[in-house]
Amino acid sequence: MDIYLTVGQVMQTEGFRDCKLLAGSSGLGRQVTKITVAELPDTLSWMQGGELVCSTACYLKDNPEAQEEWIIGMAERNVAALAIKTQRFLGRVPDKMIYLAEKHEFPLIELPYTMTWPVVIGGMMSVMLDIQTQRITQSIKIHEKLTELVLTSQGLNVIIQSIADLVANPVMLTDHALNLLAKADSAGLNRSSFLDVDFVERLIAVLKNRQYILNHKPNVEKSIFSETIDTHLGPLDLLILPVSAGDAFFGWLTTILVNQTEETLGRITMEYGSTILALELLKEKASLEALARAKTDFLRGLLEDDSLSGYDIQRRAGILGINLALPTIVMIVHLTSELTRRSHFAVEQLVKSKDSSSAVISGTQDIIVFFHPKSPAPQDMKDAAQVASAISAMLEKEGTKGIIGIGRCYQGIREVKKSYAEAKRSVLMAVKYNRSILSFVELGFERILSAVSDRSELTHFCQDVLGKLLTNDSKQKSALFETLKCYLKTGCNQTESARILHLHINSMAYRIKQIEEILAVDLSDPDTRLTLYLAIKIIEESGKSNNSIFYS
């Protein structure tokens, strides 16, 4: 931390007792960071700025060019002031030096002949050490106060309020995208105009265009950015500091300098405050991640584990803040690529904006959404469909393709599983029919199939109804199964079927006769047609070849 005095403050120390300011009174606010004695010709070459230069001016005696060079050169190099024992060599300071010092607002001080350098230097260093000790003490208190807030889990709002009190200025915390997280002003001050919604929105809009914010890299050394912006309240100075911990970047801490407080302590407070805020946000992040994992494990157990008792489910749901009594629709978002944290977070944020009590969990490629519609009527899926459409559009905008299956609405702990199973079935059918979104209520015949728990019974049914025809196709290398399927799908229109299969109408009629003989059925009978078509659909929905369904 830089320790400095102004030239005016230095002139109040013991070493400058009985001194006389010859010129440069308007420069008394210059900062003095070090004190040095200079007598050599090359003095200017090693000046860095902030020095209070003490000299007997032996080199300047009878050397007008050097006198001018010293005054102009020191002023240009931001030297704080020049203090000369004039009676030692010069006798009196030349008018030209006084003129140039006044012109450049450079303090030129005359020291009494009896004053020694140890007294001059010691007096100033003593004051600077006092200031440094005071600042260190204050910085320790600031650090202890802010650290205690984290250790006692006071939360972001209390930490921000404490920072505002310490810097005596309005303060706001924004996330990495400059969304407002918290704001506060120093307690007891009525300056609401600096933190009202309109002002904060205008301020954030300005900051969003700043390059140091647009190009910020979280793993670089933290720097405080300062700037002045024009507002409807007049020009305002800002101090802006990134809030980060290692590679984790959380956002920005901004102080609005309504009061021009002691700058060094203000910066120390912001630096400590930034670190403390990063710790608090890390703690919140870890807590939220742990809660998310617990919710994920619980909801997966609810969907997949039948051994959980109703009491255990209700107890764990209550602890995790999950309301299973609400009408619930399960949606599955199946991604064609591997799931990323960004996709999960984006979907979760979108769903939460529509239903704050919703829950979202993830697998390798799936996001499972537990959504509570405004309208619980089973036949009204409008709310869920709108959310699914919004998710699909958002994923597409980010370059990710998602297929969404929507189950029906159920109420009760055990019933949610049904919605989950329906959503899974809907995803499979959406893939088959090349749909991006498919609700279970939109399924026709497939809904009946999904209700059959014993899949082997479907295989036996198909074998009883179509087994002879498929066996004949296999032995004779014929295509009667495909002929029957086309015939039934065209509404038993022989002419249309013949056109599709590229057959003569007589050949089509012959094939129909063959099918009736092999299966011993009458294709003019509606019940027979329904039975045959049902068996064909089961084979199609199995995703297997015509024969393999019987040997799986």
Q: What is the pLDDT of residue 264?
A: 67
Average pLDDT over residues 395-412: 86
- Token pair for 182: 């918290």
Residue 109 shares a structural domain with residue 184: no
Residue 474 shares a structural domain with residue 429: no
Identify any residues that bridge with 332 across adjacent strands, giving them in sequence order: 368, 405
Residue 177 shares a structural domain with residue 278: yes
81-84 vs 51-55, strand pairing mode: parallel
What would the pLDDT profile of 264-295 be if each residue is shown by its tens digit?
677 888 888 888 888 888 888 787 777 777 77
In a domain? residue 134: no
Residue 118 shares a structural domain with residue 157: no
H or E segment to which residue 105 belongs: none
What would the pLDDT profile of 420-459 be if each residue is shown by its tens digit?
888 988 998 888 888 999 998 888 777 777 667 677 888 8
Domain limits at 418? 323-450
In a domain? residue 313: no
| 3-state SS, residue 220 | coil
Residue 159 shares a structural domain with residue 260: yes
CA 10 – CA 52 distance, rounded (Å): 9
In a domain? residue 311: no
**Averaging pLDDT over each range in 216-225, 286-295, 364-373, which range is the top one?**
364-373
In a domain? residue 536: yes
Across 11-25, 280-294, 473-487, least confident range: 280-294
Residue 484 shares a structural domain with residue 528: yes
Q: What is the pLDDT of residue 545?
A: 45
In a domain? residue 148: no
231-to-154, 201, 206, 239 alpha-carbon distances in Å: 33, 12, 10, 15
Task: Select from 422, 443, 336, 438 the least CA-distant residue to 388.
Answer: 438
Residue 446 shares a structural domain with residue 459: no
484-to-463, 492, 495 alpha-carbon distances in Å: 15, 9, 13
CATH of the domain at 330: 3.30.70.270
DSSP string, 146-205: HHHHHHTT--HHHHHHHHHHHHTS-EEEEETT--EEEEE--TT---GGGTSHHHHHHHHH
In a domain? residue 346: yes
Q: Return the exposure string of 519-536: e unless at least 16 CB atoms fall within 10 Å of the residue's CB, then b.
A: bebebeeeeebebbbbbb
Average pLDDT over residues 63-72: 91
In a domain? residue 302: no
DSSP string, 255-305: EE-SS---HHHHHHHHHHHHHHHHHHHHHHHHHHHHHHHHHHHHHHHHHH-
H or E segment to which residue 3 belongs: none
Q: Which domain-ending residue is among 384, 419, 450? A: 450
For residue 155, pLDDT beyond 70: yes
Q: Which domain-ending residue is among 228, 260, 284? A: 284
Which amino acid is present at 107? P
Q: What is the pLDDT of residue 469?
A: 92
CATH of the domain at 467: 1.10.10.2840
H or E segment to which residue 254 belongs: strand 248-256
CA 38 – CA 548 distance, rounded (Å): 101
Check: CB of residue 80 under 8 Å from CB of residue 50: yes
CATH of the domain at 178: 3.30.450.40
Average pLDDT over residues 349-363: 84
Residue 212 shares a structural domain with residue 276: yes
- Token pair for 461: 């049914």
Average pLDDT over residues 212-231: 74
CA 82 – CA 54 distance, rounded (Å): 6
Residue 247's pLDDT band (cuts 50, 70, 90) = confident
Q: What is the pLDDT of residue 82?
A: 93
Residue 490 shares a structural domain with residue 503: yes
Q: What is the pLDDT of residue 388?
A: 92
Q: What is the pLDDT of residue 213?
A: 77
What would the pLDDT profile of 79-97 be if each residue is shown by its tens digit?
999 999 988 888 888 999 9
Number of domains the chain is built from: 4
Phi, psi of 248 (to 5 degrees): -85, 115
Identify any residues that bridge with 371 across adjacent strands, giving them in sequence order: 329
Residue 157's pLDDT band (cuts 50, 70, 90) = confident
Check: CB of residue 302 under 8 Å from CB of residue 416: yes
What would the pLDDT profile of 42-51 be if each residue is shown by its tens digit?
888 899 999 9
Residue 63 shares a structural domain with residue 174: no
CATH of the domain at 87: 3.40.1390.20
CA 454 – CA 460 distance, rounded (Å): 11
Residue 39 shares a structural domain with residue 113: yes
Average pLDDT over residues 138-166: 82
Residue 32 shares a structural domain with residue 75: yes
Which amino acid is present at 288? L
Q: Which domain-ending residue is among 86, 107, 126? A: 126
For residue 350, pLDDT beyond 80: yes
pTM for the full predicted model: 0.50
Q: Return the exposure string of 406-420: e unless at least 16 CB atoms fall within 10 Å of the residue's CB, then b.
A: bbbbbeebeebbbbb
In a domain? residue 289: no
Q: What is the pLDDT of residue 239?
A: 86
